[in-house]
Amino acid sequence: MIYPIVKFGNPVLDKPAEKVTVFDEALQKLIEDMFESMYAARGVGLAAPQIGISRRIAVVDVTFKEDPNAKLVLINPEIIHKEGRHSQSEGCLSIPDFRENVSRAQVVTVRAQDVTGKLFEKTGDDLLARAFQHETDHLNGKLYISHISALKRDLIKRKIRKLVKAGEW
């Protein structure tokens, strides 16, 4: 099932999501649906709050279907190590048609649970490190625009307000 993507302005994106404690078939189905929804929206990462579900689940595939082994499920993820700094253009399915340069750690290790509840650690660099940080932020109620200058952020918010008024958001 493809869920519609929740956009900036919806309060579900601003609150910390709830920890996952039950690893059952319903969770597996939700994760399949999240991948399906992410691919349909042409994204490389999706957090559950972005489909209106305030739970600590994210899916990532920075290869966008190229490499089946690149599909990652992050449940209750925590960033346990960060290294370096890297600035690159970043966007978000919940803030469509906007992009800004965001400075993030270049190498990141995440500790998370998989779909069965098993703990694992994974280290990624560049785009994968960026995805780990971006998606973990979502689960903490944070969007990438919180990492850019107030000036740029206000400009984006003003443009979005106009789109909302025009019924285009």
Write down the least CB distance from residue 46 to Ni ion, Å. Answer: 8
Q: Distance between CA atoms of 57 and 29, rounded to whole angstroms?
A: 12
What element of type H or E holds 168? none
Q: Which is nearer to Ni ion, 50 or 113 (CB)?
A: 50
CB nearer to Ni ion: pick between 7 and 71? 7
Q: How far is the CB of 151 from Ni ion (least distance, A)?
A: 21
Under a CB-based contact definition with an 8 Å cutoff, are residues 144 and 100 in contact? Answer: yes
The alpha carbon of 106 is separated from its chain's Cα centroid by a whole number of angstroms, namely 17
| Dihedral (Cα; 2, 95, 139, 104), 10-degree rounding | 130
59 is a site residue for Ni ion (CB under 5 A):
no
Candidates 18, 66, 135, 168; catalytic one = 135
Virtual CA dihedral for 99, 42, 132, 78, nearest 10 degrees? Answer: 120
Q: Is 44 in the site for Ni ion (CB under 5 A)?
A: no
Q: Closest distance between Ni ion and the C-beta of residue 14, in Å?
A: 13
92 lies in the binding site for Ni ion (CB under 5 A): yes
The reply to whether 25 belongs to the active site is no
Q: How far is the CB of 95 from Ni ion (least distance, A)?
A: 7
Question: Please, are residues 117 and 73 in contact by the beta-carbon 8 Å criterion?
Answer: no
30 binds Ni ion (CB under 5 A): no
Residue type, 128: L
15-23, 78-86, 89-97, 152-160 -> range binding Ni ion (CB under 5 A) = 89-97
Give how many residues touch Ni ion by CB under 5 A: 1
The C-alpha angle 35, 38, 41, rounded to 5 degrees, equals 150
Catalytic residues: 135
Binding footprint of Ni ion on the chain (CB under 5 A): 92
